[in-house]
Structure 1
Amino acid sequence: MEAMFVLDTNAGSVRRPLITSLIFGTQDGGAWLYAGTSAGDVMTINVMRTAVQLVHPATRHGVGSMIMSSSGQLLVAGGDGSLTLFSNDHMWQNMQPFCRVPGSITSLSSTPDGAALFVGTKEGSVYRVACGSFAVQSVSQGHAGPITSMGCGAGAPGLGAFAATACADGGVRLYDIQIGMLASAAHPGPSAGACLSLGLASSGPPAGELMLVTGWGDGCMRGFRHPASQPPGGGMAPVWTLPGAHATTSGCGVAAISMAHRGHLIVSGGEAGEVRVWDTATREMVQQFKQHTMRVNALSILRDDVHAITCGEDCSVKATDLPTGASRAQWQLATGPRALAVGQDQVTFVTGGRERHISVWDLRVPSPVRTLPQAHDREVDSLAFLHQGAPLLASGGGEGIVKVWDMRAGAPLAAAAAHTDQVTSLAWAPGGSCLVSGSRDGCMATWQVRA
């Protein structure tokens, strides 16, 4: 059991800002306590006198974290990305940051040998700062906003499985599922808005390259390529931009993207309910049809690359012939389905939404063939079928729970929580080696599933 005590300091004329971090001095037997504040100051507190001895401005935008160096000097990390070392027996005059990292620092740690610092930021990134040279190296870059879409794929044989994520903050990331982040895409700019949707092609010419197609709030589609030869930690510059892909008078934004299994077509759905088909090589629109009167929430291309199933906020689900745009079947639901997935047999598909249950459909039947009642405590936001081996379905709910269902029995095999907010996207890694989930909490989780 740890002992705790309360120190009611006499701040005198010092106003009481929010204390963001506390640390005792290591060279003075705990006689001094340092308090970082939301105002960006560091207060030096005399523990015996319980009084603030000194207040010194340390950084802008608040003190994010503090640690003591091996020599007993105070290292202060700021909300402006600054790192400042304070010394001189509390006579902190004209101290200047020795280093800056991109973003607002929230955490700070030193390696055991004192050779480097690891710096975490509010934007979800981790940096390594070498002591001495102060060289800054990006270790990983996460998301600072909700993950809106995700896809999994494989590169050339022997290169493993990959996951790509899109975020409401405009971030696009590519991960090797085994080793972590490989690359991040440069943000197109504030006018692009949120990255709403993403499609990941398994491979493409030249061999070993991965292609990401992303849909944005400004109605544009942007393509990125990542070569297998590129070392981890690099960037992905856009190789093409398709302006106005889904910018109409009724709505602007690319709400859903799916890529043909042969990679020759891209199918996208818009905020106004329109569905468009694009030639991957030329980026020319080869077909368009107004399938829904409201936002397209999800779409999936069947294995034949000829038919697609779409669901919209207008409470409808439709099966469409891609070359002609002709409707093959349609279903009307009580509420707008948020998620959609097609089964291994390419005849069964499932939907989920605000009603909290999962509906199982057959393309040849007008009504659900089965219902998985009360699948989640809140709305069903994501669904993904395993397409190899056992007939497994993964579902993600608004309460942050991920479940795996045995579709033969119609019963859950497992349920677990790794998220603090709704699970917005699910994808099985190639071969069913694992399941990947993305959430509004900005986190991506990898799950090992054994049937």
Structure 2
Amino acid sequence: MLLAATAEDGIIRLWDMRTGVQRPSIEGYASWIRAICELPVGGRHLLATAGDDGTVRLWDTATGRTETVMDGGRLGAVGALAETPVADGTLVASTSGDGMTRLWDPATGDQRLAMPAPGTTVTDVAALAEDDLHLLAVAGEDRVVRVWDADRGELVKEFKQHHERVNAVCAVGTLLASGADDLIVRVWDVHQAPGNDRARPLLGHANWVTALVAVRHQDTDLLVSADKNGMIRLWDPRGELLRERQAHDAVNALAAYPLGNREVLVSAGVDRTIRLWSLDDLSPLGVLSGHKAPVTGVCPIEFGGRTLLASVGLDRTVRLWEPRTGRLVRIIPVHHRALACAYVGGMLVVGLDRGLLALAVR
């Protein structure tokens, strides 16, 4: 009988349980091994391991060799997520470094569609509000914003006016907004005919535009943008800058949160804080502190009959907050750097640096 142990160095160490003598170690992983167990296979007893590289491997302890490697079609980093209505329900869209935007059923984990952007990384995704069409906007490092039919997986339109990597997209009423490393926020009408689809530029950011969110204030659809300098700006999407404020060292994510009978703005920063802002004048309403590394995503979530705020960060945790009181309700370790979150179909979906995780939070 053997005892097996793993560590961050990717080495499997073995001991004879009867004598306490250490057996030769097994090496082969280049990353942290997260889980290990015995697996009977065809009369033999193999070791199964799961690593940070996204693989599951079977090992023969007698030879120290790997028998099987299963990578599960590794997704890599998932940096953005979006709730996506389709003809037969609601899915979650995810981005990836391989140029694919994927649609998933959050309840089953089944992949429904994959929409390719060859030769680039897709950086953000947003569903567009339409009565008879289910459209999905996707931002790319190749400076293009693509609009897809989410039911059929067909490319509908491409917008190519940005001069640098596009980092963020969001729907603002029936319009589409995008923000890029060229310091410009652009607002598009997706129904304009080719040649007449020039975007309205919103100017003023002094660094890369990193995040966008639509908010509802006094029965009006407004747009909030944020940048690498930590500045947040509130816009009328027709072109008027309404307010601006320094929020963080740098802003990674934005969200709208229902607080009482009004919406408030939520920002997440490199400074490891989450901040709440009034849409009346962008005055501060509160600070949520506790993450040990930059906060990368925030979203409202239903929990115990209440609307809480979920946050994810590079400290490998998901945290649930009660924004009204500032109380931290729960910490959920996820063992990987978390990059994005979305609450879809009763599941909290988390984008990780190595794939996707769906949590039924109760």
TM-score for the superposition, normalised by structure 2? 0.75
1:376 corresponds, among 277, 285, 291, to 291
Q: How is 1:406-445 mapped onto 2 (pairs within 5 angstroms)?
A: 406-421=322-337, 423-429=338-344, 433-441=346-354, 443-445=355-357
Q: Is the 2:213–2:225 Cα contact (8 Å) retained in structure 1?
A: yes
Distance 1:367 1:201 in 2: 29
Q: Deviations over 1:405-430 (max 9, x none)?
A: 11222112221022411x21111225
Distance 1:308 1:429 in 2: 22
Q: Tell which structure's C-alpha radius of gyration is larger.
A: 1
Q: Is the 1:266–1:278 Cα contact (8 Å) retained in structure 2?
A: yes
**Would the alpha carbon gap of residues 305 and 162 (structure 1) be closer, same or farther in structure 2, given more than 3 Å must change?**
farther
**Would the alpha carbon gap of residues 419 and 258 (structure 1) be closer, same or farther in structure 2, given more than 3 Å must change?**
farther
**Would the alpha carbon gap of residues 18 and 175 (structure 1) be closer, same or farther in structure 2, given more than 3 Å must change?**
closer
1:275 corresponds, among 185, 189, 199, to 185
Q: Deviations over 1:289-348 (max 9, x none)?
A: 11312111111112356311111112211101111x111111013511212112225542
1:196 aligns with 2:196: no
1:178 aligns with 2:95: no
- 2:50 paired residue number: none
Distance 2:316 2:154 in 1: 32
Three-state SS of the structure 1 residue aligned to 2:254 is: strand
- 2:156 paired residue number: 239
Three-state SS of the structure 1 residue aligned to 2:284 is: coil
TM-score for the superposition, normalised by structure 1? 0.61
Q: Amino acid of the residue matched to residue 353 of structure 1?
A: G
- 2:316 paired residue number: 400
Q: Amino acid of the residue matched to residue 233 of structure 2?
A: K
What's the RMSD between the two structures over aligned residues? 3.3
Distance 2:28 2:292 in 1: 37
**Would the alpha carbon gap of residues 164 and 369 (structure 1) be closer, same or farther in structure 2, given more than 3 Å must change?**
same
**Would the alpha carbon gap of residues 391 and 65 (structure 1) be closer, same or farther in structure 2, given more than 3 Å must change?**
same
Q: Is the 2:308–2:320 Cα contact (8 Å) retained in structure 1?
A: yes
Q: Is the 2:176–2:190 Cα contact (8 Å) retained in structure 1?
A: yes
Q: How is 1:10-409 mapped onto 2 (pairs within 5 angstroms)?
A: 65-66=67-68, 106-107=69-70, 121=71, 124-125=72-73, 142-143=74-75, 145-156=76-87, 159-190=88-119, 193-201=120-128, 204-206=131-133, 210-227=134-151, 236-242=153-159, 244-246=160-162, 248=163, 252-261=164-173, 264-282=174-192, 284-303=197-216, 306-323=221-238, 325-344=239-258, 345-365=261-281, 367-372=283-288, 374-386=289-301, 390-409=306-325
Q: Is the 1:275–1:290 Cα contact (8 Å) retained in structure 2?
A: yes
What is the deviation of 1:178? 1.5
Q: Amino acid of the residue matched to residue 341 of structure 1?
A: A
Query: Gapped runs of 5+ residues in structure 1?
Result: 9-16, 31-44, 51-62, 67-105, 108-120, 126-141, 231-235
**Would the alpha carbon gap of residues 238 and 401 (structure 1) be closer, same or farther in structure 2, given more than 3 Å must change?**
same
**Would the alpha carbon gap of residues 327 and 180 (structure 1) be closer, same or farther in structure 2, given more than 3 Å must change?**
same
What is the deviation of 1:26? 6.8
**Would the alpha carbon gap of residues 7 and 181 (structure 1) be closer, same or farther in structure 2, given more than 3 Å must change?**
same
Q: Is the 2:107–2:347 Cα contact (8 Å) retained in structure 1?
A: no
Distance 2:41 2:281 in 1: 73
Q: Which structure's residues are more often strand, by fraction?
A: 2
Query: Gapped runs of 5+ residues in structure 2?
Result: 4-14, 17-21, 31-38, 46-59
What is the deviation of 1:269? 0.5
**Would the alpha carbon gap of residues 320 and 387 (structure 1) be closer, same or farther in structure 2, given more than 3 Å must change?**
farther
Distance 1:413 1:198 in 2: 29
**Would the alpha carbon gap of residues 291 and 26 (structure 1) be closer, same or farther in structure 2, given more than 3 Å must change?**
same
Distance 2:129 2:175 in 1: 13
Q: Is the 1:269–1:299 Cα contact (8 Å) retained in structure 2?
A: yes
Q: Deviations over 1:109-155 (max 9, x none)?
A: xxxxxxxxxxxx3xx42xxxxxxxxxxxxxxxx51x21121101333
Greater RCO, CA 8 A, separation 6+: 2
**Would the alpha carbon gap of residues 178 and 290 (structure 1) be closer, same or farther in structure 2, given more than 3 Å must change?**
same
Q: Is the 1:160–1:176 Cα contact (8 Å) retained in structure 2?
A: no
What is the deviation of 1:403? 1.0
What is the deviation of 1:364? 2.6
**Would the alpha carbon gap of residues 163 and 419 (structure 1) be closer, same or farther in structure 2, given more than 3 Å must change?**
farther
What is the deviation of 1:400? 1.5
Identity of aligned residues (%): 22
Q: Amino acid of the residue matched to residue 331 of structure 1?
A: R
Report the number of matched residues.
312
Q: Is the 1:385–1:393 Cα contact (8 Å) retained in structure 2?
A: yes
What is the deviation of 1:163? 0.4
Distance 2:85 2:329 in 1: 27
Distance 1:286 1:7 in 2: 66
Q: Is the 2:128–2:136 Cα contact (8 Å) retained in structure 1?
A: yes
- 1:35 paired residue number: none
Three-state SS of the structure 2 residue aligned to 1:292 is: coil
Q: Amino acid of the residue matched to residue 167 of structure 2?
A: A
